[in-house]
Amino acid sequence: MGKRIVCIEDDPDISSMLRTVLSMQGYEVVEAAKGTAGLDLLYRTFPHAVLLDLRMPVLGGMGILEILREKSGLREVPVVCVTGAVDAASMYEALYRGADAYLFKPVDLDLLKLVLDFLLEERDRPARAAQLAGHGRAGEILGILGREVDQLPKLEALLFISSRGRAGRLELAQGMIYRGEDLERVLQEMVEAGILATEGEVLALSGAWRERARRLAALVEEHRGLELAANLVHMGVNLFGPGEAAGEGD
């Protein structure tokens, strides 16, 4: 029997489609149409992964995610959000709260397969990373990011500053979704890596990164580009060979 996936999704058509597709790939898929029922199912089945819709009545995906990350036994189960909430704020919030990946609806089924393979097949991560790097425009994004943008807050800060030209530290702290106490450390690492330059109390992109950020912003302008960039960084795909090799020409 294949690895078990719990799909918590209140749209029966989407849930049925995901079950059909994933069953064909060898997974055992168990469905729940409500957040409360899904939570009960998780405690009873202890799955290998969870597909989680965010917008559900009574107990939504964010609430389930928070509970999962606090409970021993379920804390390490990979959670892939599959949602119609395609705005950057919802995506960042879910990933910062502990989701392992965040996919937009209508779901890119090829990307879903690659993400599940990467999260569940730890023995062959470099090969899985290479497969993700070959998906859509992922190679272009990885080439821009290199290994320097190795955390999601760095990606968010990079895009935030790129959209404004420059930003003060307080503006970043107030404007970003990331609320970690280590934001100052994250920004300092970006300065040391040559991504950012300090101009008094203001941070701006360094010379080489202005063009890289401009190219990245063009790629993520469409929400599918943002979906790719955020997942690649959050899952650490650019820390494997493909990201490094793709970035050598910058």
Q: Give the CATH number for residue 173.
A: 1.10.10
- 218, 160: one domain: yes
What was the pLDDT predicted at 242? 42
Q: Is residue 68 part of a domain?
A: yes
Residue where one domain finishes, among candidates 63, 88, 120:
120
CA distances to 7, 12, 15, 139, 186 from 19, in Å: 8, 10, 6, 29, 39
- 44, 96: one domain: yes
* Antiparallel, parallel or unpaired: β 79-83 and 202-205: unpaired
Residue where one domain finishes, among candidates 120, 153, 177:
120
**What's the structural domain count of the chain?**
2
Q: Which domain holds residue 184?
A: 141-246
Q: Is residue 131 part of a domain?
A: no
Q: Is residue 133 part of a domain?
A: no
Q: Is residue 50 part of a domain?
A: yes
Give the chain's end-to-end CA distance (angstroms, integer): 46
Do 36 and 8 contact (CB within 8 A), yes or no?
no
Q: Is residue 127 part of a domain?
A: no
DSSP states of 91-146: HHHHHHTT-SEEEESSP-HHHHHHHHHHHH-GGGHHHHHHHHHTSTTHHHHHHHHT
- CA-CA distance, 67 to 64, in Å (whole number)? 5
Q: Is residue 85 part of a domain?
A: yes
- 145, 116: one domain: no
What is the token pair recorded at 243? 């990201």
- 73, 18: one domain: yes
Do 66 and 42 contact (CB within 8 A), yes or no?
no
- 21, 113: one domain: yes
What was the pLDDT predicted at 71? 76
Q: Is residue 205 part of a domain?
A: yes
- CA-CA distance, 143 to 232, in Å (whole number)? 12
Residue where one domain finishes, among candidates 120, 149, 171:
120
CA distances to 124, 175, 208 from 89, in Å: 32, 11, 28
Do 47 and 22 contact (CB within 8 A), yes or no?
no
- 159, 241: one domain: yes
- Long-range contacts formed by 43-46: CB under 8 A, 24+ apart: 43/74, 45/4, 45/6, 46/73, 46/74, 46/77
**% the chain with pLDDT above 70:** 95
- 12, 112: one domain: yes
- 151, 57: one domain: no
Q: Give the CATH number for residue 26.
A: 3.40.50.2300
Strands (E), the chain: 4-8, 28-32, 49-52, 79-83, 101-104, 166-168, 196-199, 202-205
Q: Is residue 129 part of a domain?
A: no
* Positions in the chain short of pLDDT 50: 242-250
- CA-CA distance, 237 to 165, in Å (whole number)? 27
